Amino acid sequence: MTFTPNRPSQFSEEMTWDSLKQAIATSSGFKRWCLEQAAVNTQIQSMNLDQLVSGYLRETLETLAY
């Protein structure tokens, strides 16, 4: 018998992402980023919240990496 460390269930991971996504979506930084993106990217209106938050996090982390 092989020991497998406990791994959070997919449901728990989805709940965590949903909570994080909602918290980010209500932040002033995210709202400002969306307005800036809308000014230069007309396709932003067709993006869902997952895509928007992922893009915001990606750009934020890239900025912090410098």
Q: Are 38 and 45 in contact (CB under 8 A)?
A: yes
Q: Is 66 contained in some domain?
A: yes
Within the chain, residue ranges assigned H as helices are 10-25, 28-40, 49-65
Instruction: State the Cα–Cα distance between residues 29 and 35, nearest whole angstrom.
Output: 10
Based on the structure, what is the number of domains in the chain?
A: 1
Q: Which domain holds residue 48?
A: 28-66
Q: Is 38 contained in some domain?
A: yes
Q: Is 4 contained in some domain?
A: no
Enter the tokens of residue 13.
């991971």
Q: Give me the half-sphere count of Cα atoms (radius 13 Å) on the Cβ side of residue 23.
A: 7
Determine whether 37 is exposed, middle or buried from the number of CB atoms within 10 Å of its CB (0-12, 13-18, 19+).
middle
Per-residue pLDDT of the chain (66 residues; tens, 9 = 90+): 455 556 657 778 899 999 999 999 999 999 999 999 999 888 888 999 999 999 999 999 999 987
Q: Is 13 contained in some domain?
A: no
pTM, whole model, 2 decimals? 0.76
